[in-house]
Amino acid sequence: MNKPRTPLSRRDFLSRCSTLALGSSSALATMTQLQLAHAETQPQDDYKALVCVFLYGGNDAFNMVVPRSTSAYADYSATRQGLAVSNSDLIPISSNQQNGADYGLHPALTDIAELYSQQKLAILGNVGALVEPTTKAAYQAKTATLPPQLFSHNDQQNFLQSLQSTTKRNGWAGRAADVLGSLNTNTRLSMNISMSGSNLWQSGANVIPYSVNPEGLENIKNLNRKADPDTEAWELARVRVFENILAQPQSHILANAYSQQLTKAWDLSDEVGSALETIQTINTQYPEDNRLATGLKMTANLMAVRQTLKVSRQTFFIGVGDFDTHGDQNRRHNLLMAQVNNALKAFYETTVELGIADKVTTFTTSDFGRTLTSNGDGTDHGWGSHQFILGNSIAGGDIYGTMPDLAIGSSDDMGEGRIIPTTSMDQYAATLAGWFGLPASRYGEVFPNLGNFDITDLGFTT
């Protein structure tokens, strides 16, 4: 499973050590999580996983899901001008949208369209960062409570992952894991695993995500234990020296904590790496040169050894960038849609092969949508957007939420072609977390803005 070892540079060595340390700090925290008294009686096959695909930069979802009806497409085409996808190129899909419009998918989303028609994939329309329901009139009158720093990449990424406006933040998946941590028999491995390093979404008060290199897990401590003959002598010596340093008593509380946590991290990398070595052959083929596919493939590998790792609940985070299409959008967005299409298809097929397609729900999110208007070569930062939700536990083949009016100056356009979301990330997240097993009685502490909205379950799970 792991790639052939090559000599580690000093930078790579220290980077891997710090990455492993991040994961292990959840060990003591998760051991204290006993909120659910029935956890010990959970059946071994009671497995569920949430997989977050974060499209960094702000995906132009208005070219991902496009109205096809004559009048609605005319508004879309007039607004988007040279960025509009030809109506004849769109892949038609059916829906029960109340606005009466027909919709189509971007032509690169052929496999997504097939999964949609098979009712394995749903679309959530016009979802975004909201503190409370917001209208155009309230926005213009400045009476609406808004998320911090709308249209700022970092601020909106943080808000969508945390759902908090305060400076002291953790993420909704982290807070959910704080509640559900005792469902996993393995208290050493975090419920939350990241393929993209540190992220706010999976960080809780007690839980910290365990970071994995999607290219393969390097068992650093294992090199010292087994003295692998394929490993360079200098590499073994470096590991041994560093391990001896960690074993020395430390007088400073932070140094002592660091050495303890890193030692645990090495032990955990040993455990996870050994589990990955037991994987039977997975036949599903993944596309090459596709960063999202690489992250999803490692995610599938870790799911394949869920019983060895003794886990019943897991979340996975895979972030992929380049969606900030201010320029060269027509070419770049086509490539990005193909990347998403191919990666999600391969991952879904792997969950079918592993027999867990009904136990894994994959969903997309992004900083924000894009402006309807063109800047001449691309689009600028918007607000509302559309998202995909995938899995056999999804009531697919339909569009949920309320699709917006794409005419400039409509009641959905706050100005400059920026669409006001009609569904909040709190509602989106609560629907996912309810399927995951979070008790409704704990929603208030996990989703701070949910009480401002009438609907807490959007209905796309079965």
Angle of CA points 30, 36, 39, to nearest 5°: 85
DSSP 248: S
Residues 325 and 57 sit within 8 Å (Cβ to Cβ): yes
Sole residue written with tokens 């769109």 = 90
Burial 328-356 (b: 16+ CB within 10 A, else e): ebeebbeebbbbbbbbbbbbbbbbeebeb
Instruction: Compute φ and ψ for 202, nearest 5 degrees.
Output: -95, 0
Q: What is the dihedral of CA 353, 194, 399, 445, to 10 degrees?
A: 130
pLDDT for residue 216: 85
Q: How far apart are CA 419 and CA 426, in angstroms?
A: 18
pLDDT for residue 21: 41
Q: What is the dihedral of CA 45, 294, 286, 387, to 10 degrees?
A: 70
Class at the top of the CATH hierarchy for domain 10-452: alpha beta
pLDDT for residue 172: 98
Residues 192 and 334 sit within 8 Å (Cβ to Cβ): no
DSSP 286-333: --SS-HHHHHHHHHHHHHHTHHHHT-SEEEEEEEE-----SSSHHHHH
Q: What is the dihedral of CA 46, 352, 362, 114, to 10 degrees?
A: -150
Q: What is the mean pLDDT of each run of 10 residues along the chain (462 residues)?
A: 43 43 40 38 74 98 97 96 97 92 97 98 98 98 97 97 88 98 95 96 96 79 51 69 76 77 76 92 96 98 97 98 98 98 98 98 98 97 98 98 97 96 98 98 98 98 97
Instruction: Compute φ and ψ for 302, nearest 5 degrees.
Output: -70, -35
pLDDT for residue 219: 55
Give the residue ranges of DSSP H helices in 87-135. 110-117
pLDDT for residue 16: 44
Residues 381 and 70 sit within 8 Å (Cβ to Cβ): no
pLDDT for residue 230: 60
Residues 194 and 209 sit within 8 Å (Cβ to Cβ): yes
DSSP 26: H
Please give the C-alpha separations between residue 187 and each of 173, 176, 431, in angstroms, as whole numbers: 17, 16, 26
Residues 211 and 197 sit within 8 Å (Cβ to Cβ): yes
pLDDT for residue 42: 47
Please give the C-alpha separations between residue 405 and each of 79, 125, 372, 408, in angstroms, as whole numbers: 11, 12, 11, 8
